[in-house]
Amino acid sequence: MFDDIVNGNVTADGSAFFTGVTKLVSTINDLNTNINDIKNNMTNLDSGLSTIVTDLSTAKDDIQKVPQNALSGGNAVIDYKTRISDPYIPSTGTVSSIFVTVLGSSNTGGIIGNLYSNIETGYNTLSGIKTSASAFAAGATGFSSSIGGITSDLNNVQTQITDLDNSVKDGLDLMETPKTIGTLVINLIYGIALGLAALALLGVILMTFCDKYKCRYLMYFSCVILFFFGILGFLIAIIFSIIVPVMYLLCEWLDVTITSSGFTTNTQKFISDAQVQNILSSCLVGGSGDIMTAVGGASIGNTMNSLTSAINYTSAFNTSTESASISTAITNVTAIITSFRMGVTPDITDSDSLQALLAVTKMQDFTGCPASPVDSYVPSMGNTTSIGCSITASTVDSGTCTSAANFLSGAAGCVGCIDTSSILNAYYTGLTQGQWKTNVLDTKYGAGCTWTTYFGNVWDNYYRVKLTEMNSINSRWSTASTSLNTVISDFTPVNTTM
């Protein structure tokens, strides 16, 4: 019975198995080893994600600032005075750049909104993994520290029960010799009694049939001895009637204690440590089987939930896919911003504005200007579908015309179909209202050409605003893309860690 408590066994009816203390201690120690291994992994995961979570947070903020340099979100503001060919008057109406909607923001959609949403999802996922890993590691530390005391108590219980089992065994072994001697004595007593009974019977026969009356003394002697043997047998019967029921009931109690749900109540009689009782009862018949709660307490549930969350978050995150997605987004957003900034994609589509940009390409249509001009200013030579060059000439951009001085003097490579956005972005972003006409056009073509006034108005109302706003956006996007590339580089060690 005691051996069953230590090593486990099946119940009397064979319907269930109860864990012995030895197996229980081994299981708890194995559990502690596994928990420590997982804790170390979660600690490493928590530490390994610190850099990328910080970098993702930075990237999130940088993306939010792209439209208007504010963390509050909201679209950029790029409004042009209309009509763009009229002299600049601050109080006139405006036409908004369609680039504003395409760009969007963190809370209004567009290419920035979509990218921000993806980065925020990645940030939340990795932050969730980091937080859950940290919570598990912290909870597992307390769990692990309590294991030593618990296993020590269980080992003590195991030792006590084993000692008790050995003591009972030794006692039973010691009783083997007296038992043998007692059997011999009892057999001897039975033999003597039987012999005396035979003598008494012989005396009766001799007295009755042979008239040997003196043989009555033989009968008297046998009866006296048998009388004392009867008293001795009565005393032995009384002693065994006390011992046998007690031993029987004790065995029955142990059997019920181990094989029923009343274990906790019964074991309080010989196991004083409440936690040890709780652990043992959870693993025996009628117990809950929840050894984690029994060992780690109610808080272990929160600890294991943290582990589950970390695993779920990790399973939902694919570093290769996320890295490729961010790389693609950087390429796409950069291309779209560059396309609008460099005039390849028109950002104003109203008829008045398009007519003004088309008129700028035809210097020959204005009074005081050359009838066969050598230059034609196109918004972008990268897209001449709607607004093309009005003369037959080579393309002029910052690649062919390498300085503002060469452009102003009309040097080689600076005369022809001029990519206006390329030249302005390369050399004239610092010009203010009116300076494009007075500092560049009048010098290059003469103030008598009315086209310079017309193009000067287009600069004041359109290009001046566009260059300022879009270059600022492009600069902030450059910062954001750098942050995103940092995140991409973080994925390599994170992939190893996860």
DSSP symbols for 211-253: --GGGHHHHHHHHHHHHHHHHHHHHHHHHHHHHHHHHHHHHHH
Question: pLDDT at position 222, please?
Answer: 77
Residue 407 has pLDDT above 80, yes or no: yes
Q: What is the mean pLDDT of residues 96-100?
A: 96
Q: Higher model confidence: residue 187 or residue 423?
A: 423
CA distance 45 to 39: 10
- Residue 350 pLDDT level (bands cut at 50, 70, 90): very high
Burial class (CB within 10 angstroms; exposed 0-12, middle 13-18, buried 19+) of 298: exposed
Task: Report yes or no: 104 and 98 within 8 Å, Cβ to Cβ.
Answer: no
Per-residue pLDDT at 130: 79
Q: What's the pLDDT band for 241 if we cut at 50, 70, 90?
A: confident
Most confident region among 31-40, 193-202, 398-407 by mean pLDDT: 398-407
Q: Where does the pLDDT of residue 258 fall: very low under 50, low under 70, confident under 90, or very high at 90 and above? A: low
Q: Nearest to residue 422, comparing CAs of 339, 335, 330?
A: 339
Residue range 129-149: mean pLDDT, rounded: 70
Nearest to 5 by CA among 374, 256, 217: 256
How far apart, in whole angstroms, are the C-alpha atoms of residue 125 and residue 138? 20
pLDDT for 317 equals 64
Q: What is the pLDDT of residue 302?
A: 66
List the Cα angle 471/472/478 in 5-degree steps: 85
State yes or no: pLDDT of 351 exceeds 90. Answer: yes
Identify the pLDDT of residue 18.
Answer: 60
465-482 average pLDDT score:
97
Of 8-22, 280-294, 425-439, which range is least confident? 280-294
Of 58, 64, 44, give the one whose Cα is nearest residue 487.
58
Report the pLDDT value the prediction gives residue 463, as an integer from 0 to 100. Answer: 97
Residue 440's pLDDT is 96
- Among candidate residues 473, 471, 105, 482, the one with its CA nearest the CA of residue 330: 482
The answer for residues whose C-beta is within 8 angstroms of residue 78's C-beta and 6 or more apart is 96, 97, 99, 100, 347, 465, 466, 469, 470
| pLDDT at residue 281 tops 80 | no
- Kindly list the distances between the CA atom of residue 115 and the CA atoms of 101, 112, 410, 495, in Å, as whole numbers in the listed order: 14, 5, 44, 22
Contacts of 255 by beta carbon, 8 Å cutoff, 6+ apart: 1, 12
Q: What is the model's pLDDT at position 398?
A: 96
**Cα–Cα dist 189/195, whole Å:** 10
Q: Which of 47, 205, 62, 203 is nearest to 126 (CA)?
A: 47
Q: Whole-model pTM above 0.75?
A: no
What is the rounded distance in angstroms from the CA atom of residue 295 to the CA atom of residue 279? 6
What pLDDT was estimated at residue 279? 61
Distance CA 277, CA 154 (A): 9
Q: What is the mean pLDDT of the chain?
A: 81
Query: Hey, is 495 helix, strand or coil?
Result: helix
Residue 270 buriedness (CB in 10 A; 0-12 / 13-18 / 19+): exposed
Strands 376-378 and 395-396: unpaired
What confidence category does residue 209 fall into, taking pLDDT thresholds of 50, 70 and 90?
confident
- Return the residue matching tokens 């009637």: 241
Question: For residue 245, how many other CB atoms are within 10 A of its CB?
Answer: 10
Which of the residue ranges 45-54, 139-148, 440-449, 466-475 would you say has the lowest mean pLDDT?
139-148
Per-residue confidence (pLDDT) for residue 179, from 0 to 100: 64
pLDDT band at 293 (very low <50, low <70, confident <90, very high): low
Q: Is the pLDDT of residue 10 over 90?
A: no
pLDDT at position 449 is 96
What's the chain's Rg over C-alpha atoms?
A: 51
Q: Are 48 and 497 in contact (CB under 8 A)?
A: yes
- Number of alpha carbons in the 13 Å side-chain half-sphere of residue 103: 32
Cα gap 31→25, rounded to integer Å:
10
**CB 413 within 8 Å of CB 393:** no
Q: Would strands 94-96 and 79-81 be described as parallel, antiparallel, or unpaired?
A: antiparallel
Query: pLDDT tens digit string along 11-21?
Result: 555 566 566 66
Closest CA to 421 of 336, 473, 346, 489: 346
On the question of pLDDT at 434 being above 80, the answer is yes
Question: 79 phi and psi, to 5 degrees?
Answer: -115, 135
pLDDT, position 267: 53
Question: 24, 157 in Cβ contact below 8 A?
Answer: no
Residue that wins the pLDDT comparison between 189 and 300: 189
Q: How confident is the model at residue 373 (pLDDT cuts 50, 70, 90)?
A: very high
Percent of the chain with pLDDT over 70: 71
Q: What is the mean pLDDT of residues 259-282?
A: 56
